[in-house]
Amino acid sequence: MKNSPAHAKSVKDPIVAHMREILAALGEDPSRHGLLRTPQRVALSLRELTRGYREDVDSVINGALFEEPCNEMVLVKDIAFYSLCEHHLLPFFGKAHVAYIPGRRIIGLSKIPKIVEVFARRLQVQERLTTQIAETLAAKLMPRGVAVVLEARHMCMEMRGARSLLSPTVTSAMFGCFQKDARTRKEFLDLVKNSG
């Protein structure tokens, strides 16, 4: 096994090498049977969980922007997302609720969860993630308004530190008419509140 191509590749992978050192520093034996392939698995997992760094929003949208005379709210709610807290590299996860009121452009509905995913699959803080989603939609659509609400559970709060169980964190970013018009904002928040 030590001379296999997979082993040769993993030896050159800095994540794999460092993960072996981390396991040893934790008091474990990286060569014990249960941990033998753990460094490779961690490397693959981390690359998957941070693939958003290697994704481009324009490629994800892939031209799915359409001219359409629509002036009603478009809301995609309960978008499941998973991310990693940049402070502890522990997961946080929850639901995103994303709305916009078009100017002259709409976006393919499936692209909204994909935009959430691009930014969630990076080392993040929830506040930044919320704003990045809203700013991207505002820039690409030039809508009358954008609203994003994220509700998430943070394992860095639940598994360590405060050990505050089942305490979701809610963040929001509102631009345009969602920020300026109380009735529009209330309509959005009422729709989100009545989700599931």
48/45 Cα distance (integer angstroms) = 5
44/70 same-domain check: no
Does residue 8 register a pLDDT over 50? Answer: no
- Please tell me the predicted confidence (pLDDT) of residue 90: 96
Q: What is the DSSP string of the chain?
A: -TTSHHHHHHHH-HHHHHHHHHHHHTT--TTSGGGTTHHHHHHHHHHHHTGGGG--HHHHHTT-EEE----S-EEEEEEEEEEEETTT--EEEEEEEEEEE-SSEEE-TTHHHHHHHHHHSSEE-HHHHHHHHHHHHHHHH--SEEEEEEEEEEHHHHTSTT--TT--EEEEEEEEHHHH-HHHHHHHHHHHHT--
User: Could you tell me how far CA 125 lies from the centroid of its own chain?
Assistant: 9
23/161 Cα distance (integer angstroms) = 22
38/63 same-domain check: no
43/63 same-domain check: no
124/181 same-domain check: yes
- Please tell me the predicted confidence (pLDDT) of residue 164: 81
Q: Is 86 a catalytic residue?
A: yes
60/42 same-domain check: no
153/129 Cα distance (integer angstroms) = 14
Give me the catalytic one of 28, 55, 70, 88. 88
pLDDT band (50, 70, 90) for residue 75: very high
107/162 same-domain check: yes
Nearest to 99 by CA among 124, 77, 120: 77
Q: What is the mean pLDDT of the chain?
A: 93
| Joined tokens for residue 143 | 């809508």
Q: Is 87 a catalytic residue?
A: yes
Give me the catalytic one of 55, 156, 158, 179. 156
Q: Radius of gyration (Cα) for the chain, nearest Å?
A: 21
- Please tell me the predicted confidence (pLDDT) of residue 146: 98
pLDDT band (50, 70, 90) for residue 162: confident
Does residue 1 register a pLDDT over 50? Answer: no
Q: Is 33 a catalytic residue?
A: no
The domain of 177 spans 55-193
- CATH number of residue 41's parent domain: 1.10.286
26/106 same-domain check: no
Give me the catalytic one of 40, 97, 154, 177. 154
- Please tell me the predicted confidence (pLDDT) of residue 69: 86
How many percent of the chain have pLDDT more than 90?
86
125/176 same-domain check: yes
139 to each of 4, 26, 106, 186, how far by Cα in Å? 48, 45, 12, 23
Q: Is 88 a catalytic residue?
A: yes
